[in-house]
Amino acid sequence: MFNKAVSYDLLWDATALEGVDESQRWILAVMRKHGHELVTMLWRILGNEQDVCDAYQTTFLRLAHHEGGLRPRWVRAYLFRTASNTAISMLRQRIVERRALSNAVPPVEEANDAQVDVNVRNLTENLRCHVAQLPENFRNVIMLRDFGELSYGEVARIMDISVGTARVYRCKAVQLLATWMNKEEHV
């Protein structure tokens, strides 16, 4: 994402740190340490550069304002949980917008290569919408494990559950998603 306009490393120019209050420098260190992972997870969840940028910004703003600027005990867990919750809120908003638009505009039927691309995008969007509707524990495991590419151990630590529980939640979430997607396919 950052490769398009600027190099990611340029964001961490030492001169940029001079204007930052000493009490807030830890936030920049956290951004530098976890920013790339966070962007990767958000990109997989949202699939849209503008939404990823918005969610990333919102996540770090919430971190900066967490309990009056105090550093959370588990910063990485706080970041990923906040980012995934922000992304889910954005997906839910998309669902509402899409429903409003689908009621207003009748579907157009086409049969060409562009239609295949549209179908793939719709399938991806439907999957994202279904992930947003999963129960919270299932959704968090899917987002951290599949979208964030974290190990089951990392997911378990962030969610404060056992590794086995994380695996079970993911399995049940995938089964539920498959059921929902199959129902839509046959409608």
Residue 105 pLDDT > 60, yes or no? no
Of residues 85 and 21, the one with the higher pLDDT is 85
Residue 7 pLDDT > 90, yes or no? no
> Are residues 90 and 119 both part of a single domain?
no
Using CA atoms, how far apart are residues 163 and 69, in angstroms rounded to an integer?
32
Q: What is the pLDDT of residue 1?
A: 40
Using CA atoms, how far apart are residues 112 and 97, in angstroms rounded to an integer?
27
Q: In whole angstroms, how far apart are CA 24 and each of 20, 60, 121? A: 7, 11, 40
Q: In whole angstroms, how far apart are CA 37 and each of 87, 101, 150? A: 15, 33, 9
For 18-59, what is each residue's pLDDT tens digit?
656 676 788 888 888 988 899 989 988 888 888 899 999 999
> Are residues 179 and 141 both part of a single domain?
yes
Nearest to 130 by CA among 142, 119, 118, 113: 142
> Are residues 29 and 93 both part of a single domain?
yes
pTM, two decimal places: 0.53
Domain count, the chain: 2
> Are residues 77 and 165 both part of a single domain?
no
> Are residues 91 and 12 both part of a single domain?
yes
For 108-117, what is each residue's pLDDT tens digit?
554 566 666 7
Using CA atoms, how far apart are residues 146 and 167, in angstroms rounded to an integer?
12
Range of the domain at 163: 110-187
Q: What is the CATH number of the domain that holds 122?
A: 1.10.10.10
